[in-house]
Amino acid sequence: MPKYLTEFIGTFFLVATIGFTVLAPGAGDMAPLAIGAALMVMISAGGHVSGAHYNPAVTLAVFLRGRCNAADLLPYWIAQILGGAAAVMIVLFMKGNPTVVAMQPDVTRALIAEFLYTFALCYVVLNVATAKGTSGNPTYGLAIGFTVLAGAYSVGAISGGAFNPAVAVGITMMGLSTIGNIWIYLVANPAAGAAAAMVFRVMHPQDR
């Protein structure tokens, strides 16, 4: 139970930070910095308990890499989605249910953007938080948080910069993205997580 609660809490604060900084009145160009920082500190807080995935695509990558039990896969996903959904309810209440104009991304570009930066995120997680060569690294949260920061600044305007199916659910519930576009994230993000795990296994065949 502690690891599932940790996943709930970490995802809650990640999605809440997205909502508070993106929905008006938000943090403007500083929003990605706040989001990356929120992920970094929650990883530092929960890494020793659950691995601090806070992202179904990351959980899938860690599972395929061999560092997450099959029995934890679905509970992690449920905790992450519920954490994101709970955050949305708080954000919308605190923001007074603002009127939001959903982005309308170009599907092909959004798929590519989400795949590339979710791959980067999962690849970084696998290398800094699960590899034998980086075992005991106390600053891995910084690398992971800055990967999201870089992705948000790079392609946020193209795809919304979710890189995370739980975040995709959150931004859809907040009206930042339409329900008709959620499939973009639900396809690109897990596919990127699986690809990152395969690349990691090829590059580190002895690291099991």
Q: What is the pLDDT of residue 139?
A: 87
Sign of CA dihedral 116, 176, 165, 127: positive
Q: What is the mean pLDDT of each run of 10 residues along the chain (208 residues)?
A: 96 98 95 97 96 98 96 98 98 95 96 98 96 87 97 98 98 97 98 98 88
Q: What is the pLDDT of residue 206?
A: 86
Q: What is the pLDDT of residue 102?
A: 95
Residue at 153 is within a domain: yes
Residue at 208 is within a domain: no
Q: What is the pLDDT of residue 138?
A: 84
How many DSSP H helices and E strands does the chain contain? 8, 0
What is the residue range of 108's domain?
Answer: 2-203
Q: What is the pLDDT of residue 33?
A: 97
Q: What is the pLDDT of residue 134?
A: 87
The answer to whether the pTM exceeds 0.85 is: yes
Number of domain units in the chain: 1
Residue at 69 is within a domain: yes
Place of tokens 């996903």: 77
Domain containing 56 — which CATH number? 1.20.1080.10
Looking at residue 128, the DSSP 8-state letter turns out to be: I
Greatest CA separation for the chain: 53
Residue at 181 is within a domain: yes
Residue at 104 is within a domain: yes
